[in-house]
């Protein structure tokens, strides 16, 4: 028994360290995949070195005490390109701040895997396509700002289940249909929806929610 205890005391820290390294490498790989999709003329991502085991040393990346990535702060960085499904691997992410850049393409549905996300600020970019229904999985989300992009389609009714949502802004896009009225949407101002092709608040039972799309 004593030998077994000695065995555990010796190998357990090694195993825990190995598990942590694998976990952080997984997140580092996801961030490096993101970097490969972006053009970075101001070299704000210069510190994102894939040969470094711990991505928590990279600029604009914040980690918790367990070396899990919890913040990505790249607002106003003059980066362009697109986002990919690898962002969904950052499962501990709480803040995704990519506002005021030139990022385009579609919003990856994999962002809906970020169950701990509190704030997603993607405003002031060139995102196109629909708002993913998978965003309804972000039950911790409080701030969702997608304004000043080129998003189209209707506002997913699934988003009305986000009971913690305090700020929602999709102004200055190309959205169509009607504005949800259920859940937190009953408290959002009309300014959050202006300069789209929206037809006003939803009239349940009278017209389809995607009327005019």
pLDDT of residue 2: 56
Provide the pLDDT confidence category of residue 203 given band limits of 50, 70 and 90. confident
| Letter string b/e over residues 24-62, b meaning 16 or more CB atoms within 10 A of that residue's CB | beebbebbbebbebbebeeebbeebeeeeeebbebebbe
pLDDT of residue 14: 41
Write down the mean pLDDT value for the chain.
89
- Close Cβ partners of 2 (under 8 Å, ≥ 6 residues apart): none
Res 181 pLDDT > 90:
yes
- Close Cβ partners of 199 (under 8 Å, ≥ 6 residues apart): 176, 177, 178, 207, 211, 212
Res 177 pLDDT > 60:
yes
Lowest-pLDDT range of 49-53, 83-87, 140-144, 179-183: 49-53
Res 173 pLDDT > 90:
yes
Predicted model pTM: 0.85
What's the token pair of residue 30?
């996801």
Q: Where are the alpha helices (DSSP H) in the chain?
A: 2-37
């Amino acid at each position: 028994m004593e030998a077994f205890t000695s065995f555990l005391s010796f190998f357990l820290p090694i195993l825990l360290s190995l598990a942590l390294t694998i976990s952080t490498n997984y997140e580092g790989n996801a961030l490096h995949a993101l970097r490969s999709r972006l053009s970075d003329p101001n070299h704000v991502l210069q510190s994102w070195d894939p040969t470094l085991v711990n991505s928590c040393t990279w600029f604009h990346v914040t980690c918790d005490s367990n070396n899990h990535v919890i913040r990505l702060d790249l607002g106003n960085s003059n980066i362009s390109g697109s986002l990919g499904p690898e962002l969904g691997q950052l499962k501990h992410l709480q803040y995704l701040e990519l506002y005021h850049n030139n990022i385009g393409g579609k919003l990856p549905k994999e962002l809906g895997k970020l169950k701990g996300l509190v704030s997603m600020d993607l405003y002031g970019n060139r995102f196109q396509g629909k708002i993913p229904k998978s965003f309804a999985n972000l039950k911790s989300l409080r701030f969702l700002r997608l304004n000043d992009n080129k998003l189209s389609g209707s506002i997913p009714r699934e988003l009305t289940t986000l009971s913690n949502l305090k700020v929602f802004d999709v102004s200055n896009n190309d959205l169509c249909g009607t504005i949800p009225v259920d859940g937190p949407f009953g408290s959002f101002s009309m300014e959050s929806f202006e300069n789209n092709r929206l037809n006003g608040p939803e009239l349940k039972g009278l017209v389809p929610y995607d009327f005019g799309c």
